[in-house]
Amino acid sequence: MKEIPDIIIGRLPVYLRALRHMRSQGKQTTSSQELGEQVGVSAAQIRKDLSQFGEFGKQGTGYNIPFLVDKLREILKVNRAWDVAVVGMGDMGHAIARYQGFSDRGFRVAMLFDNDPAKIGQQLGEFVIRDTRELKAAIQQAGIRIAMLCVPATAAQDVANQLIEAGVRAILNYAPINLSVPAGVRVQYLDPSTALQRMTYYIK
Amino acid sequence: MKEIPDIIIGRLPVYLRALRHMRSQGKQTTSSQELGEQVGVSAAQIRKDLSQFGEFGKQGTGYNIPFLVDKLREILKVNRAWDVAVVGMGDMGHAIARYQGFSDRGFRVAMLFDNDPAKIGQQLGEFVIRDTRELKAAIQQAGIRIAMLCVPATAAQDVANQLIEAGVRAILNYAPINLSVPAGVRVQYLDPSTALQRMTYYIK
């Protein structure tokens, strides 16, 4: 398969989210125009992005929503449930561990870790919080490829290194720090301050 | 001032985060090469991005880190403290309200809202959770321009509309749904499933 620019890959989950929302409202078809308005992308861009992966719409009738949802889930490999490890059981890790929005989008929290003796062994939902020292062996054994990093910034790189050694290939980083990772490992950042700073520039 | 592409504005907070990290480690100068490696952007791109705003580096000696930090804070308008309202006091809103990472990055949580009678009136840190029905008047009166939206997806658009009517111009949306907003209002999305889906595509 030819290499698709990451900027396009990055838009597909946003399309998928909007299409699932339309489907939940009972809609059966949509147009690149309508989808574009929902997600703030031009209709031409949406057609171009989707055309990288095949022929999904028909001139005049538009896109069949359930079909396109299935296709996008397949392309993004979320037509399955990925086990995810969560490291760091502070407020944010707690919120993530209890978050209800993963299960129908391809993910399942599978393991929780912390290095605080007061937290280790505690029950959180259906899981017992495990010692970060067990992280490498446990993740390796379970074959987990995805982790969410909710530790303090000072610990993030060290924990990331352990995750990667254990086989993790995708890290969602809540710590407000850039991670150095080898080729073949992906990182996405969910840092609220950085996201806010992207908007203040525009406030008059 | 000429219009700067949003994609460039979006990279500036990432540069700022990395530069602050370098500064915290006692570094005084850096190069576009070194900064680029930290943030995963080419040196040429960094030079080009920064050149939009002036002449910040010297050929041969690179960038003075404290100076560039100050300049970026000024450009992004975070050389001040913006008051932020948080709406929705579930797990995520709770974590946000208690998050320690805002104060030195230009933001200050100033008001908390929820519509649950069991939560309204409760103390959380230094704040009392207020009734969402008071939201419009309170935000308007305080002149708050920034909000974080931690309500369920089903309520997000309605609350966003109220925020915008009250004068909010930047919304950080934790609800997994695209918001329709008028021109002049910015939205950033912190949706963990969408961020994860951007990475699963690449996992072999």
Cα gap B31→B10, rounded to integer Å: 20
Residues 82-141 of A with CB under 8 A from B: 82, 84, 90-92, 94-96, 98-99, 101-102, 105-107
Between A77, A190, A194, which is nearest B201 by CB? A77
Interchain contact B203–A (C-beta under 8 A)? yes
Q: b/e per residue, A26-52, with b = 16+ CB within 10 A?
A: eeebbbbebbbebeebeeeebbebbee
By C-alpha distance, the chain A residue nearest B189 is A195
Categorize the per-residue pLDDT at A100 as very low, low, confident or very high, splitting at 50, 70 and 90.
confident
Nearest CA in chain A to B182: A40
For residues A107-123, give the mean pLDDT. Answer: 97
Inspect the interface and report whether the beta carbons of A194 and B13 lie closer than 8 Å: yes
Q: Which residues of A touch B84 (CB under 8 A)?
A: 196
Residue A111 CA to residue A113 CA, distance in Å, equals 7
**Does B168 score more than 60 pLDDT?**
yes
Q: A55: left (phi > 0), else alpha (psi -120 to 50), else beta?
A: beta
Q: What is the chain A residue with the closest CA to B84?
A: A196
B142 touches B167 (CB < 8 A): no
Name the nearest CA neighbour of A123 among A133, A112, A115, A107. A112
Contact between A150 and A159 (Cβ < 8 Å)? no
Q: Do A170 and B200 touch (CB under 8 A)?
A: yes
Residues in chain A within 8 Å Cβ distance of B82: 196, 200
**CA torsion angle B142 B147 B148 B151 (round to 10):** 80
Exposed e or buried b per residue across B1-30, where buried means at least 16 C-beta atoms within 10 angstroms of its C-beta: eeeeeeeebbbbbbbbbbbbbbeeeeeebb
Q: What is the mean pLDDT of chain A?
A: 94
Q: Is B38 on the interface with A (CB under 8 A)?
A: yes
pLDDT surpasses 90 at A55? no
User: Which band of pLDDT confidence, cut at 50, 70 and 90, is reported for residue B1?
Assistant: low
Nearest CA of chain A to the CA of B84: how many Å?
A: 10
The vertex-B200 CA angle with A182 and A139, nearest 5°, equals 65
Which token pair is A115? 């290095």
Nearest residue in B to A147, CA atom: B196
What lies within 8 Å, CB to CB, of A6 at 6+ separation is none
What's residue A40's pLDDT?
87
Residue-wise pLDDT tens digits, B135-158: 999 999 999 999 999 999 999 999
Write out residues 168-197 of B within 8 Å (CB-CB) of A: 169-170, 172, 176-178, 180, 186, 188-197
* Backbone torsions φ then ψ of B83, nearest 5 degrees: -75, 140
What's the pLDDT score for residue A105? 95
Residues 149-168 of B with CB under 8 A from A: 153
Q: Which residues of B touch A30 (CB under 8 A)?
A: none
pLDDT tens, position by position, B52-82: 998 887 777 789 999 999 999 999 999 999 9
Read off the tokens for A158.
Answer: 């060290």
Query: Which positions in chain B touch A16 (Cβ < 8 Å)?
Result: 197
The answer to whether residue B17 scores a pLDDT higher than 60 is yes
Report pLDDT for B56: 84
What was the pLDDT predicted at B58? 74
Q: Is A52 helix (H, G, I), strand (E, B) or coil?
A: coil
Q: Is B43 on the interface with A (CB under 8 A)?
A: no
CB neighbourhood size of A4 (10 A): 14
The tokens of B91 are what? 């797990």
Q: Is A76 on the interface with B (CB under 8 A)?
A: yes
Quick check: A170 and B39 CB within 8 A? no
Residue A148: band (very low, low, confident or very high) from pLDDT cuts 50, 70, 90: very high
How would you classify the pairing of strands A146-149 and A82-87? parallel
